[in-house]
Each structure stands twice: as structure tokens, then as C-alpha cells.
Structure 1
Amino acid sequence: MSDMILLKNKKNMTVQADYEVFRSKRKTYSISLNENGILTIRVPLYVSDGEVEQILRGKQFWITDRLAEYEVRKSRRPAFEYTQTQRLALEKRYKEAAREYIPKRADYYLAAYPDLFPRCYSRISVREQKTRWGSCSSKGTLSFNWKLMLAPPAILDYVIVHELCHLAHMNHSERFWSCVATILPDYKERRKWLKEHGNELTLS
């Protein structure tokens, strides 16, 4: 169940924002807007409800800008919605396509940059991850969100390269980002696109 907070935008107008709080063993906070226009704020276990509101008010201009962009995107969506049967059928087709396409792209980059990767992945898994676009396990298993098939090819390739570089660097160190940049010099633009538009990658 979501909570609600009233924020001010850059025009000093009051904007209602619905949000959900998730606490975990993390050191920093993050804020994102999901496909339904609800804020997700992830915070360390010790952060109180009052501190959560302080964080949201401290980021109110960023939040209200994202909410305004969401309303614009919402107004441009088709008037129809898929039935559940249609949606499940489409998801199945996208997952099948992802299981065929993603390994091919991963193998392409492994072959093109053999000096960057000390090992190959053990296997590739495609599923619907709730909070991640991709992941790499210590055993070399790469997992990808099937919704990446709804993204532009350049964005899908960014996530694939990102996870492949974790085969060499299981962290987000300077060497890790150097690995990504060697393959995709414009990775920052691709990462920015995914952060700003990732919540649009959904079936209506």
C-alpha cells in the first residue's frame, strides 16, 4: 500500500506524489518512478518515515519533473489495453525472442573483445526481474529482464555489455566502468536513457 505526500514543483504549485518505501541492508537511498506513476524509494533499514519524507522533499523538483513527464507519456498511450490473455501471449513471445536473441548478442561481444573477458558466462537466464534489468552471479550466470526486448537495441546492448563486464569485475569499480567504456564509449547516454525511460518498457 502506497503513502502520499504533497510537494512543490518549480512553479510553486502543489503536486501529489504517491510513494512506496522499501527498507533493506543498503547504505544509500534511491528513488524511481514505476509504470503506474508511483514513486519507489529504497532506503537503509534505520531510516525513519520522517526521514523518508525529508528525502522526498529534498528531491521534490526532480520528483515533480518526473511526474509531469509521466503524465505526458500517459496521455500519449493508446486508448486500448491488452486483455490478460493477449498480454500473457505477448509476454511469452517476447521471452522466447529474448532467449534466442540475447545470447547471440552476448556471444558477439565476447568474440569481439576477447582480451576484456577472462571467462565466458556459464548460462543465460531470461525472466521478469522486479528491480533489475540484468545481473551476473559469482558463478557466471547472466540474468536479463525480458522487457529489455521492448527497448531500443542500443539500450539492450548496454545492459548485455554491463553484465558481461561483471564477468571480469564483480563490482562497479573504475576498472569495471573502463571495461564498459571500451566497448560502448557512449554508455553514459544509454544508461541515462534506461534510467529515465525504463518504466515505459511495458505492455499496455
Structure 2
Amino acid sequence: MSKQLTRHHHIGQTVVPYSISWSQDRETVSISIDKSLELTVTAPMTATSDDIESVLESRQEWILEKLYGLKEQESPPYSKEYLSGEKLQYRGRQYPLEVVESDVPQPALSFDEQKFTLRVHRFDAEADRVSVRRKRQAVVDWFLERAKDELPERSSRFELRLGLNDIPVEVGEIEGRWGEYNNGTVRLNWRLVCAPVRIQDYVLAHELAHTVHEDHSDSFWNTVGALVPDYEDRREWLRLRGNTLVV
């Protein structure tokens, strides 16, 4: 027979509640996360708190991948060479890419709501390693700027419903997660601009809910649910397809 005990594990600014199930039948400590993102530690009766914390610390990357959906079940697309005929994903839709030679000092991407156009110098027209790197940087720069323009604008209606005002929303490169809330500021991964708007809204609602609930408690998820009632479906989309949000 086992007993349950709830504690909290800290990964940077992220507080992860977990339940301990003490079992006479186990010899080692194991961890699991179910579909509701509840973390459970199963430990032998002889395990100490330090033993459990040591295992959690060794599995922090795995825990974050599960919680934030960055270790996806669906494989990412093949690496792009940024040639005509390839597609770029923007706000959940795939748009064709057309590469044209132009008198430009470096590659530049534009979008006309129907297709992407990548203007390149004739020396960048071929798919050699240097040219691919230069073209990719132009694509990343375009998506990053678009993300900085669009993603923060979506937070105002959630702030209003939470009784908040002018929460700073920063967009940039975030390693290992889609968003975070820290010291009064929401930070978002720029790659979210590739996702459907409903997925962008889920991540924003998730992070803004941390302004009133520090950890992933029942109260936290109730707040997220009040903002986006189908948050479980959106979270599952991100878990399964987040690895495809690449340029």
C-alpha cells in the first residue's frame, strides 16, 4: 500500500507541483506525467527527499519538454534550402515560397498574403551552404519582426478579463519552451507566429494566468480555462505539432 504526498520542485522560475507515491514494491525512483500534466514520483519507502530531488534535477529537461510541449511526437519537416516551390508556415497556414534574383546586397523576404517572395542576389540563388544560411537568416528576421508586431497585440483582451493592465510582452528566442512569466513580464517564443492564432492565444493565456497563480495548480488551470475553454485541445495541438513550427 502506498501513501501520497504533494510537494513542489523549482526549475528556474517554473514551480512544478508533484505527488509522491511511496511504495514498498519499488527499488528505484521513477517519474511520470499524465495527460493532465500532473507529475507523479513513485519512490521506494527508503528514498529520502534528497534522493527524489536528485532524480527530478536530472530529468528537468524532460519535465519541461512535457510541460511546454517542445519534444513533439510529430517529426519536424525536412531542412529547407529556401528554393522556389518550398512552403513557409505562417499563422497556421502553408504559403508557397518564390525565390527571385534581384539587385539586393542580401536576401530579403516579403509576403503579399498569398505567397512569400525571397529576393536574392544571383550569388545566393544556388543552394550552397553559405547561401542557405544567408537566406534562412532573412526568413528568420522577417518572422521575428512579424512576431514582435503581432503577438503582444493579442494579450490585451486576456489582460482585461484578468483585471490586468499593460503587462509587458517580449518576443524573442526562448530555449526549450514556448513562453514564460518572470518578474511581471511575459516572454514568448517567436516561432509561435507560425502557429494558428488559437494556439498563440493559448500560450498567452497560459503565461498571463501565472500573474495570479505561480504554479500549475487546479486554480491556475481553472483560470486558463476561463480564458480559453478548450485549452486542453490547444495544449494537445502544441504537444503533437509544436515541433513543426520552424522556418
Q: After TM superposition, give the deviation of residue 46 of structure 1 in Å.
A: 3.8
Match of 1:145 among 189, 192, 195: 189
Q: After TM superposition, give the deviation of residue 30 of structure 1 in Å.
A: 7.5
Q: Deviations over 1:75-119 (max 9, x none)?
A: xx58x52311121111111111111111210012223x1xx34x3
Percent identity, aligned pairs only, is 35
Structure 1 unaligned blocks of 5 or more: 1-23, 32-43, 53-65
Match of 1:94 among 143, 163, 167: 143
Give the direction of change, closer, same or farther, for the CA distance of 1:174–1:200 in structure 2 (3 Å limit): same
Match of 1:106 among 136, 155, 161: 155
CA contact (8 A) 1:121 1:140 kept: no
AA in 2 matched with 1:94: F
SS of the residue aligned with 1:142? strand
Other-structure match for 1:161: 205
Partners of 1:150 and 1:165 in 2: CA distance: 23
Other-structure match for 1:59: none
Structure showing greater Rg: 2
CA contact (8 A) 2:159 2:165 kept: yes
AA in 2 matched with 1:109: F
Q: After TM superposition, give the deviation of residue 122 of structure 1 in Å.
A: 4.2
Structure having the higher helix fraction is: 1
Structure 2 unaligned blocks of 5 or more: 1-10, 19-29, 34-51, 60-72, 83-131
AA in 2 matched with 1:127: G
Q: Deviations over 1:3-34 (max 9, x none)?
A: xxxxxxxxxxxxxxxxxxxxx89878689xxx
Other-structure match for 2:218: 174
CA contact (8 A) 2:159 2:167 kept: no
TM-score by length of 1: 0.60
Other-structure match for 2:172: 127
RMSD (Å) for aligned C-alpha atoms: 3.2
AA in 1 matched with 2:145: E
SS of the residue aligned with 2:170? strand
Partners of 1:125 and 1:197 in 2: CA distance: 23
Give the direction of change, closer, same or farther, for the CA distance of 1:165–1:46 in structure 2 (3 Å limit): closer
4+ aligned runs moved over 3 Å, structure 1: 24-31, 44-47, 119-122
Structure having the higher strand fraction is: 2
Other-structure match for 1:190: 234
Indicate the structure whose relative CO is greater, using CA pairs within 8 Å and at least 6 residues apart. 2
